[in-house]
Amino acid sequence: MSKLHIEKIKSELENSKWIIRTDLSTNEFLNIWEISRPNGDGDCLLKINFSIFGNGKYGDLIGNETMDNANGCSIIGHSEIDIYFGKYSGQFQKDLFDFISKLNKLK
């Protein structure tokens, strides 16, 4: 389920002129992405923290998790900007719009 969510977040970030500075081409587990504006403004370097649901009992992390285990994300230092990866539906689309809108208001 999360793969679609993450692909949509990546697409919306890029459509909103954010640059993902973290190398996503690796097969590594990356639960933090660095993003910035195209002008490289140091004041606009932000980190997105993806929360992970583990593969162990009761969702405990056991070390073999991937980004497909992500169940939401938030902006480090701006906890009011977050999104939960519920059903990939109209509600997620609305929540994603709100997430990107709040992110775009940051200077």
pLDDT in tens, the chain (107 residues): 578 898 999 999 999 999 998 888 776 667 899 999 877 665 678 999 988 887 777 777 787 777 788 889 999 999 999 999 888 788 999 999 999 999 999 86
Residues in a beta bridge with 70 = 52
* pLDDT on residue 87: 81
Name the CA radius of gyration of the chain, rounded: 14
pLDDT at 95: 95
Domain boundaries, the chain: 2-104
Query: Hey, is 71 helix, strand or coil?
Result: strand
Q: Cα separations (Å) of 95 from 14, 18, 65, 99?
A: 17, 18, 25, 6
Q: Do residues 47 and 32 lie in contact, with contact meaning Cβ atoms separated by under 8 Å?
A: yes
Question: In terms of DSSP H, where are the helices of the chain?
Answer: 2-15, 90-104
Using one digit for the tens of pLDDT, what is the confidence trace for 18-45? Answer: 999 888 877 666 789 999 987 766 567 8
